[in-house]
Amino acid sequence: MARDLVRRLWSWEGLLLILLLVTLAYNVTRVTNFLTVSNQINLFQLGIEKAIVILAMAFVIISGEIDLSVASMMGLSAGVAAALFESGAPMPVAILVALGVGAGFGLLNGYFVAVVGLSSLAVTLAGYVGFRGLARLLVQDRSVGGFPDWFTNLGQRGMVGPLTLSIFIFAILAIVATVTLHFSGFGRLTYVIGNSAAVARFSGVSVARTKMVIFTISGLVSALAGVLMAARLGAVRASTAEGFELDIITVVLLGGVSIFGGVGSMIGVLLSTYLVLNLRNGLVIAGITGNTQTGIIGLLLILSVLLPNLAGRVRERLRRRQSDPSMRAPPADLSETARSQTAPG
């Protein structure tokens, strides 16, 4: 019983839970009323757009790819909506076009990755530069605002009590993402492809189609997050959401998703989302500014891949020593394959 508990806590999610409790404890002792409902909602509200994109990014990384273009896509969709509104289009139309642009470019990313067979790193790096470039072209160095009241209210006022539309959307998407990833055929396909695209192809799985769907969703969800951000801030600049990809990818990897694909759970990702929101809040309390926070997130990003790697290597070495004491130095190739297969948690 006790041993079982210990083992459970040793899993990656358990580690996250401990980290979360420590951070929460710190925040609670430093700030009165930290755990009140309104404060917790406020906490979510400040990072809600990132949290939404994180859900889609989990699918991308579990399928063995990466999407560096999400933050630029958020900026582009916000820019498209703002520019259209500015030139006289009704706001609902502007929003729909922005979402369409997101889905379209997401599909394009997916096409180049899945059909043409380019590395997603290169394709989405092009998107990272290119989408931001298009946003600059649309918004230039202005700040576009003056949106209709109903639109900014969506982002800023609570719909039910203090809960804003963004929080509702996040909650619904989180449930949909969890169910899809863990209880649907599509989710299983995502894991299979992430473990080995070749195996998936030989098993008759349409790898290309699945990847294209994932990238399209990633683009669409990023565009949605961009529009929501425009509503919350009430103004759009070309630099909207710049640098968000760092946070988004960090949270997903910290949540126990393997950067090599095929491993991870939505529970872990949600836990790490909440952890990072709390961490940022705690850093603010401790008087650490935005820039330094970014550095800490960067460090967290590296550690969230480095630590499982090192832990896996140590575990492998211990196990080999136990099973075969004559074998002193493990051959390099074995530890290497073990590393790429070791899953955090």
Partner 1 sequence: MTDTILRRVRPEQFREVILLIVTVGLLGFFASQIPNYFDPRSVNRLTTGLAIPLVVAVGQVLVVITRNIDLSVSSIVGLSAYMVGTLLTRTDGLSPLAALAVAMSIGLVLGAINGLIVAYGGVPAVIATLGTLALYRVVLVEFSGARTVTTADLPDWLNDVPSATVVAAGGYDLRLMVGIALVVVILGQLTLRYLPFGRRLYAIGSNPEAARIAGLPAKRDVFTAFVICGTLSGLAGFMFLVRFGNITVTAAQGLELQVVAAVVVGGVNIFGGSGSMIGALLGVLLIETLQQSLLRWAGVSEFVKDAILGLLILIAVTADTIILSRLREMWVRVRRRDKAQAQERAQVVATGEGEMVHGA
Q: Which residues bind partner 1 (CB under 8 A)?
A: 66, 68, 112, 116-119, 121-123, 125-134, 136-137, 140-141, 238, 245-246, 249, 253, 259-260, 291-292, 294-299, 301-302, 305-306, 309-310, 313, 332-333, 336, 339
From the CB of 305, what's the least distance to partner 1, in Å? Answer: 5
Q: CA–CA separation, 311 vs 113, rounded Å?
A: 32
In 33-119, which residue ranges form alpha helices assigned H by DSSP? 37-46, 48-62, 70-86, 91-110
**If DSSP codes are grouped into helix, strand and coil, which group holds residue 163?**
strand
Amino acid at residue number 127: G
From the CB of 339, what's the least distance to partner 1, in Å? Answer: 5
Amino acid at residue number 197: A
Quick one: which of 260, 250, 223 has its CA closest to 343? Answer: 260
From the CB of 286, what's the least distance to partner 1, in Å? Answer: 14
Contact present, 57 and 248 (Cβ < 8 Å): yes
From the CB of 53, what's the least distance to partner 1, in Å? Answer: 16
From the CB of 236, what's the least distance to partner 1, in Å? Answer: 15
Q: CA–CA separation, 111 vs 222, rounded Å?
A: 17
**If DSSP codes are grouped into helix, strand and coil, which group holds residue 307?**
helix
In the complex with partner 1, which residue's Cβ is closer, 156 or 341? Answer: 341
From the CB of 121, what's the least distance to partner 1, in Å? Answer: 6
Quick one: which of 108, 86, 61 has its CA closest to 223? Answer: 108
In the complex with partner 1, which residue's Cβ is closer, 81 or 174? Answer: 81
In the complex with partner 1, which residue's Cβ is closer, 127 or 264? Answer: 127
In the complex with partner 1, which residue's Cβ is closer, 5 or 306? Answer: 306
In the complex with partner 1, which residue's Cβ is closer, 37 or 310? Answer: 310
In the complex with partner 1, which residue's Cβ is closer, 136 or 201? Answer: 136
Encoded tokens for 180: 């899809």
User: Phi and psi at residue 69, in whole multiples of 5°?
Assistant: -90, 0
From the CB of 33, what's the least distance to partner 1, in Å? Answer: 31
Which positions ≥6 away from 298 have C-beta within 8 Å?
246, 250
In the complex with partner 1, which residue's Cβ is closer, 22 or 259? Answer: 259
From the CB of 37, what's the least distance to partner 1, in Å? Answer: 33
- Taking the alpha carbons of 311, 299, 135, 98 in that order, is the dihedral positive or negative? positive
Burial of 31 (0-12, 13-18, 19+ CB in 10 A): middle
Count of C-beta atoms within a 10 Å radius of residue 46: 15
In the complex with partner 1, which residue's Cβ is closer, 24 or 54? Answer: 54
